[in-house]
A and B are shown apart, each in its own frame.
Chain A
């Protein structure tokens, strides 16, 4: 099963096994990763599942759709070049080892 590594704003890393097809957001909630709020439940309305994707993986992700791009504009912590919404990243075998850094705040 692919692994996703969540790095908190303070720098603590946690490695989680994520079934293929599950979103990075859903896996965070299921595994008690506190830096993901996911207020809207993963429908691209709220920006509270914002993550900074490790550069090594960023270019391997399917590009963000218009809706996600728009939501990133309102993120509580300003977006960076590798910002994504974790509700829009589905884990695949190819993404094994995906590392995402969590912003200091989501709201």
Chain B
């Protein structure tokens, strides 16, 4: 038996690589190493059901502890990989222990961007990515009354909805002119702004934070550049993440906006792959190299790398999809809308049933859906299959997208794959 596969990172990507290797029939040793002290868990609930108290740690574990023994996965939780020794194909832990690998998968994720203003280190300034951070947020939410959320992206808005549901006074400060602007069309941003406002969340856009101040080390106020001041006894910061590229860079691997990989998710280092939030890959749906932060991207890339390591090398071409839950509304997103030049809506915003179809040079590239789940699911197949949907057809409610999808599947000689 050889040295097997070493996976660095115990998030969704790392976990799925290990699990998929076994389901692909891989028999060599698997070592799964992560800095967090916990067994692998789902991150999405940390800004949703977990702080609301609907889900506990056990119910968000990706698998129970026994799974790792049952599948001969050597799980090293709470260990940091200090270096990759590429010449001899070993990883070195901070403890100096060295572990050999035949194949190495970097699924090291990303970390929160820190707010770079005065007062950012005060007590009561929290971030939200790891379980430990989520436990701290949940704990603080019990006694806090005035919550300021900095960042109107997915995480910020999800935790704002949670805090509001828990009866707190909540203000969201977004630096750009509209919410979630990096990803969604203005009509979707406006919908969510109104949703939050209708529940009592104060949403402030074009809000540039200049200073956090407090007394006796505890946060009390968030000040904007225009002079407005918001009182706060808890500030939650969700201003994006930065990929963890240091391990790759220090060992001489190519790094751009993430660890650079090709369409097979291979880095430029022999027998080294990178997947998930930390990796920048060529995406056929974006027509560009992208780094995506999502469960789908981590899990599908993990599956692909596992298949390759198990002996069937194949390129990665899964359609990206995402979701966010805010209050009782789920926004479902399929494809990459970046670079679109036309949007068409289907449904009615007043009825809270709406899809936005994004076109780029007359080609459907993405769909965002609110309470129109069939648009999203069928849309995944249409986008993935390159369906010739016209903007006029997209806007025509009487046209059943399923019929179009069936036609597409028949042309391709079999059921369309998502």
Q: Are A70 and B376 neighbours in the complex by a CB distance under 8 Å?
A: yes
A13 to B194 alpha-carbon distance, docked (Å): 50
**B378:A32 contact, CB within 8 angstroms:** no
Q: Is the CB of A74 within 8 A of B44?
A: no
Judge whether A9 is part of the interface by a CB distance below 8 angstroms: no
Given A26-B59, A29-B64, A34-B23, A43:B44 Cβ within 8 A: yes
Say yes or no for B325: interface residue by CB 8 A criterion: yes
Docked-complex contact A32 and B380, CB < 8 angstroms: no
Residues in A whose Cβ lies below 8 Å from that of B210: none
Interface residues in B110-127 by Cβ distance below 8 A to A read none
Contacts of A10 in B (CB 8 A): none
List of B residues within 8 angstroms of A71 by Cβ = 373, 377
Query: Counting CB contacts under 8 A, is A15 at the interface?
Result: no
B402 interface residue per 8 A CB criterion = yes
Give the complex CA separation of A66 and B231 in angstroms. Answer: 42
In Å, the complex CA distance between A70 and B334 comes to 14
A73 and B377 contacting across the interface, CB-CB below 8 Å = yes
Residue of B whose beta carbon sits closest to that of A38 = B62
A45 within 8 A of B: yes
A40 at the interface (CB under 8 A from B): yes
Among A43, A71, A76, the most chain B Cβ lie within 10 Å of the Cβ of A43
Least distance between A104 CB and chain B CB atoms (Å): 12
Classify chain A: how many residues form its interface, as a range: 20 to 34
A residues 49-107 in Cβ contact with B at 8 Å:
66-67, 69-71, 73-74, 76, 78, 107
Distance of A66 Cα from B402 Cα, bound (Å):
15
Q: How does the 8 Å CB contact mask read for B392-418 relative to A, with 1 for contact and 0 for none?
A: 000000000010000000000001011
**Contacting B374 at CB < 8 Å: which of A34, A39, A70, A78?**
A70
Are A66 and B374 interface neighbours, CB within 8 A?
A: yes
Chain A residues with CB under 8 Å of B374's CB are 66, 69-70, 73
B60 CB–A CB distance under 8 Å: yes
- Chain B residues near A30: list those with CB within 8 A: 64
Assess A39 versus B373: contact at CB under 8 Å? Given A32-B66, A45-B332, A78-B415: no
Partner of B295 from A39, A74, A76 at Cβ < 8 Å: A39
A74 & B380 in contact (Cβ 8 Å cutoff): yes
0 or 1 for each of B54-65: is its CB under 8 Å from A? (1 = yes): 000001101110
Chain B contact patch, size range: 20 to 34
Q: How far is the CB of B382 from chain A (nearest CB, A)?
A: 11
Instruction: Please give, as numbers and ranges, the residues of chain B lying within 8 Å of A46 by CB-CB distance.
Output: 296
Write the chain B residue with the least CB distance to A39. Answer: B299
With CB as the reference atom, state the residue of chain A lying closest to B59: A26
User: A74 vs B402: C-alpha distance in the bound complex, in angstroms?
Assistant: 11
For A29, list chain B residues within 8 Å (CB).
62-64
Question: Is chain A's interface secondary structure helix, strand, loop, or mixed overall?
Answer: loop
**B169: which A residues are within 8 A, CB to CB?**
none
Nearest CB of B to A23, in Å = 10
Q: Does B303 contact A (CB under 8 A)?
A: yes
Residues from chain A with a CB closer than 8 A to the CB of B66 are 32
In-complex Cβ contact of A45 among B23, B323, B378, B415 (8 A): B323
- Residue B70, interface by CB 8 Å: yes
Which residues of A23-42 are within 8 A (CB) of B? 26, 29-30, 32, 34, 39-41
Contact A74 B323 (CB under 8 A): no
Judge whether A67 and B373 touch: CB under 8 Å: yes
**Cβ contact of A74, chosen from B67, B303, B377, cutoff 8 A:** B377
Closest to A41 in B: B42
Complex alpha-carbon distance, A40 and B415, angstroms: 23
Tell yes or no: B381 within 8 A of A by CB: yes
A40 adjacent to B23 (CB under 8 Å): no
Judge whether B45 is part of the interface by a CB distance below 8 angstroms.
Answer: yes
CB distance from A29 to the nearest CB of B (A): 6
Q: Which residues of B contact A73 (CB under 8 A)?
A: 374, 377-378, 402
Report B-chain residues with C-beta under 8 Å of the C-beta of A45: 321, 323, 332
- Which A residues lie within 8 Å of B325 (CB)? 43
B 275-316 to A, binary, CB cutoff 8 A, 1 in contact else 0: 000000000000000000001100100010000000000000
Contacts of B42 in A (CB 8 A): 41
| Partner of A41 from B60, B303, B332, B373 at Cβ < 8 Å | B60
Complex A-B: 28 CB contacts under 8 Å: A26-B59, A29-B64, A32-B67, A32-B70, A34-B23, A39-B299, A40-B44, A43-B44, A43-B323, A44-B373, A45-B321, A45-B323, A45-B332, A67-B330, A67-B373, A69-B373, A69-B374, A70-B377, A71-B377, A73-B374, A73-B377, A73-B378, A73-B402, A74-B377, A74-B380, A74-B418, A76-B418, A78-B415
Besides A32-B66, A67-B330, A70-B373, 7 new A-B residue pairs in contact (Cβ under 8 A), listed by A number: A32-B63, A39-B296, A41-B60, A43-B44, A74-B380, A76-B418, A78-B415
Nearest 5 A/B pairs, CB to CB: A70-B373, A67-B373, A70-B374, A70-B377, A41-B42
